[in-house]
Structure 1
Amino acid sequence: MCAIDVEDQFLQYNVIADINLFLDYVYQHGFHYLVVYASASYLDCFLRRQSAGVDNVQDWQYTNNGYQLKTDFNYDFAGILS
């Protein structure tokens, strides 16, 4: 599996093109199980989505400071990240 974490405001202008460029590159180099990791709030803000919901959610980051260790904690509903 190869994942791209898309939450940096630097990517806000051509985020879809940047994501697709990365995914195409790693796919061509043998990584065929690909994941895009992003928050609904990021997508709402930078992609101007109409809805706060995101389809096909398989993982949910519920904190970025688990046990106060500045560590992301997630629920992996589909078992793809664990």
Structure 2
Amino acid sequence: MRVAEEIFVKKNKNTIIKNVFPAVWKDIITNPPQEILDVICDKIEKACGYRPDDATVARFLLRGCPACFLILKGVVISSHETNRFS
């Protein structure tokens, strides 16, 4: 019986986490934390030598990122589909 309970709890936990992801991701891309902006800005600066301002990165996340846009619109995409945007 204990094994069955553990399996149920694990499956339920994973379902809850998966259900929360879209709302959390939407919050991140509509109100990106400074740490996320810093990581993206650092990567861009290392790639091209120029550092974008935070507003440019936030705007891209909100409007210019196809995968982000789909998630904002509530479209669930699988991991193999996100490879199209890489």
TM-score between the two structures when normalised by the length of structure 1: 0.28
Whose helix proportion is higher, 1 or 2? 2
Which protein has the bigger strand share? Answer: 1
